[in-house]
Chain A
Amino acid sequence: MNGAERRRAIQEHKAAGGRVAAVFPGRYPREVLEALGFLPVEVWDPPLEPMSAGAHLQPFTCGVVRRGLELVLRDGLPADILVFPHTCDSLQNLFSIVRDLLPEKRPCVLFCPPRLPAGDDHSGFPNTVSRRYLEEAISEFARQVEQISGRSLSDEALAQAASGRVAARNALRQLYQRRASGALPCTNTAFYEVVRANEYLPSSKFVSRVADFLAHPPSPPRIEHPPAPPHISHAADFLDHAPALPRTRALGHKWRSKILLSGVLPDWPLLKGLDDAGALVVEDDLLSCGRRFSRWPEDPGGPAGSAAAPRGPRKQSGSCRTAWNAIVDGLANLPPCPSWGSSLEARRTFLDGRLVASGAKGIVFHAVKFCEVEAFDHPLLTGYFVERHVPCLVVESEIRDAGDARLAVRLEAFMEGLS
């Protein structure tokens, strides 16, 4: 993630008189914040070692939550409000710790979506109830942010924010399509630097950033030949001249195997490990990236929106109603996610579809240590795909733990098996 670019985006927005909303992980109606003049800046893996957070959180809390709290405690967030999507138990309680138990003065807002997304009827759950509640939850969220900001949502601002987000999602879709087609053989690190710019850039700037990237993609990694090991005659020689064992294999983009990455976020040691192991991530099922936009083309007031008239407390008409539907649809039509209670069947179908569309040869399931929501699904998902001869690897690591050699070794072994 590009920290300098993130800081610049915040400064520019503040300099123009705008306000900043720090948004903790999960899926939320971003358009509402933007329409009310906030720049949403997402907090996934701040580069801070959790020290003070240890006084408030047990060691078995995941790194995303601990680092997020560390950022709050060190006052490292130039934000005016803090937004907490209800994603898991730990984030739910982080919201309450920050709002109720810390001397935090900034307003904290919780966005509580339904646990069963519309369109996923694994339980025979009445979808209309779920969709209606989603709409009401967005309305409630908007009402709270309006109250905090002292501004009302205008029809024009809402329509503009909604169309901006549609454009940003289209840009992401294009980016992923190009990646899957093989036209973007850059490193995984470079690819996700662009994808993750969506965490803090306004939609128009993000669209330009993607366009620039597509117009001038970075070159693929060069082939590196590992140095020949020195001749060793004695153990003493070995100790004196202990060579750094080549972790990277001879990599050329022609040799790289396409994979699909599933998990919470593209942590940089993970991306580096994948780069070093010769993996080309062509599609993902990451909560912070690929589960944030639907894979089929959309337009404002798309298919589901045109069918269901809003019933929520908000009165809409004309362009505002279309924008409102686009916001609700934007969330209702997102890919399946365990944090929203999607069924395993829905997840399998989604992953199956992405494997075929991207041509990925295997799946790497990455679990952030202590993330229960993701970890529960791994045995049954891997079992399903292995039965279908799709190689799978489950790896677990702490956020930003560059010293975890096990991760690199396991990725390397998996990629060897794939090639």
Chain B
Amino acid sequence: MSDERVRAKLSSRAVFGVLKNVALPLALGAGGISRKLKPRKRRLAPEWAGPPLKCSAELKRIMTRHYGLARFAKGAMPVAWVTSGFPVELVRALGFYTVYPENHGALCGARKLGVAMSAPAEQAGYSPDLCSYARIDLGVAHGAIGPAGKLPRPDVLLCSNNICQTVLAWYRQLAVLYGVPLLVFDTPFVAGDLAPHEVVYMAEQLRGFVPHLERIAGRPFNEDQLKGILALARGTSLLWGKCLDTMASKPAPMSIFDAFAHMAPVVSLRGLPVAERYYRILLAELTQRADVGVGAVNGERIRLLWDNIAVWFKVADFARTFGAAGAAFVGATYTSAWAETTHHIEPSQPFESMAKAYSLVVLNRDLKHRVALMKKMIECFGIDGVVFHSTRSCKPYSVGQYGIRQALDAAGVKSLVIEADTTDPRHYADEASRTRMEAFLEMF
């Protein structure tokens, strides 16, 4: 490396360090103080809504800091773009800054920017029928800038097909558009039990990634460090699982619509101390709310299960519609996906245990498993009905939902299917859906 490049890298690192440790904490603190001092028109909480979670402010601070730092990460440290199902612990051990395009897509969707962000991708020829997270991300590659500002260009792309085959098609495009290497963690679909040769195959792939990542990171891999990060990630996911478990209380101290937001650290910051710290705070608050009987929905009378990714641009509307009827979502197959297989993580066997934990996630397993999982959740959380979000953006999650619904129907569980999309409102009919939701709620 030339002297000039070394100097540039050192200077980027210094800027990043100052931002991380001084400027951003100060700015976020000052922002918080100014918000508190500024006289604001107080919005009255609707009658049905329980008191908001105090943790939300901390969550906002953490995620703002994460995206704020992302803008300055390039040059200071290697940047990896990662799918939500990739064993991120491996890259954490090599000091990568990670960006989750799916999380960014959800953020854009929640801000109702899905169509605008995907427009440049559609203009470049990508079909509007493709996954809307992918379109938003390809939109970013074609110049769109989202609410989190400019994302840092990746040095490497890391993709695992344990959540869908779409990510593979999507990341292959990114590899060409950004001209960077793509590492694919191929997890064979589990149609029953995981076979030993499949574990070997996956563990060998992970080991095979190490020299490539070392080269990109410019530093050697340390297995002990990976073990420490795995222990931290395991602890974080277990804490997240405990947070979700508090929703078995009646009333549930948090709703799934809250959980959709509070899952961001376990998805994006898993393996970092900040995520673990956050879930300790959240768990304490939820436990305290459960103990004193504070619920997310006042007068909770219907307990529901959500299946699939959120309809990000409608989260608030759905919370209102269901909450006003005394219906609380107390479980979701989506949010529990980051806690379901954590127990397989065994830091003493890092590669094999990551192979198991990451390949046994709900979307990489057959529908029989999903039916069983949902039945178990229905029993454990005292659930009265299920709402299926049939999203055209996620085929592995959606294709098969009609059959799952029939299986649950046979077991006497009431259910509703909402046809929508994760971030693209063009695939959602508001009035028709509202009528169906009202009819569904009248069934209880």
Contacts and interface: CB of A to CB of B under 8 A. Distances in A.
A214 to B, nearest CB: 37
A182 to B, nearest CB: 33
A272 B404 CA distance: 40
B189 A372 contact: no
Contacts of A114: 186, 188, 201
A102 B406 CA distance: 10
A136 B191 contact: no
A396 interface: yes
A153 interface: no
A372 B419 CA distance: 19
B126 interface: yes
Contact of B368 (A100, A369, A383): A100
Nearest to A367: B127
A86 interface: yes
Interface of B: 124-127, 129-131, 134, 161, 164-166, 168-170, 172-173, 175-177, 181-184, 186, 188-189, 191, 195, 197-198, 201, 204-205, 208, 212, 366-368, 371, 390, 392, 395-396, 398-404, 406-407, 419
Contacts of B195: 140
Q: Which 5 A-B pairs have the closest CB atoms?
A: A379-B125, A101-B403, A376-B169, A126-B208, A100-B368
Contacts of B164: 89
B130 A101 contact: no
A316 interface: no
B184 A123 contact: yes
A369 B401 CA distance: 21
A382 B182 CA distance: 21
Contacts of B197: 133, 136, 140, 312-313
Contacts of A375: 126-127, 129-130
Contacts of A377: 169, 172-173
Interface residues of A, number: 61
A44 interface: no
B183 A125 contact: yes
A90 B419 CA distance: 17
B105 to A, nearest CB: 16
Contacts of A58: 390, 392, 398-399, 401-402, 419
Given A110-B191, A367-B127, A369-B129, A101 B400 contact: yes
A55 B402 contact: yes
Given A58-B392, A92-B396, A394-B125, A376 B173 contact: yes
8 contacts: A56-B402, A56-B403, A89-B164, A90-B395, A100-B366, A114-B186, A125-B184, A341-B161
Nearest to A130: B186
A115 B134 CA distance: 19
A123 B169 contact: no
A377 B164 CA distance: 17
Given A89-B164, A379-B124, A97 B175 contact: no
A263 interface: no
A95 to B, nearest CB: 7
Contact of B189 (A101, A112, A133, A339): A112
A296 interface: no
B427 to A, nearest CB: 8
A380 interface: yes
A101 B399 contact: no
A372 B130 contact: yes
A65 B134 CA distance: 22
Contacts of B208: 125-126, 129
Interface in A351-386: 367, 369-370, 372-373, 375-380, 382-383
Nearest to B215: A124
A92 to B, nearest CB: 6
Contact of A89 (B175, B395, B407): B395
A207 interface: no
Contacts of B125: 378-379, 382-383, 394
Interface string A112-134: 10111000001111100110110
A185 interface: no
B130 A93 contact: no
Contacts of A133: 188, 197-198, 201
A258 to B, nearest CB: 24
A96 interface: yes
A93 B129 contact: no
B124 to A, nearest CB: 5
A320 B276 CA distance: 55
A88 B402 CA distance: 19
Interface in A328-343: 338-339, 341, 343
B421 to A, nearest CB: 10
A321 B173 CA distance: 39
B169 A97 contact: no
A394 B127 CA distance: 11
Given A137-B188, A140-B195, A373 B172 contact: no
Interface string A37-81: 000000000000000000111101100010000000000000000
Contacts of B130: 372, 375-376
B127 A124 contact: no
Contact of A129 (B201, B395, B401): B201
A323 interface: no
A268 to B, nearest CB: 23
Nearest to B392: A60
Contacts of B404: 101
Contacts of A341: 161, 168, 172, 184, 186
Interface in A103-159: 110, 112, 114-116, 122-126, 129-130, 132-133, 136-137, 140
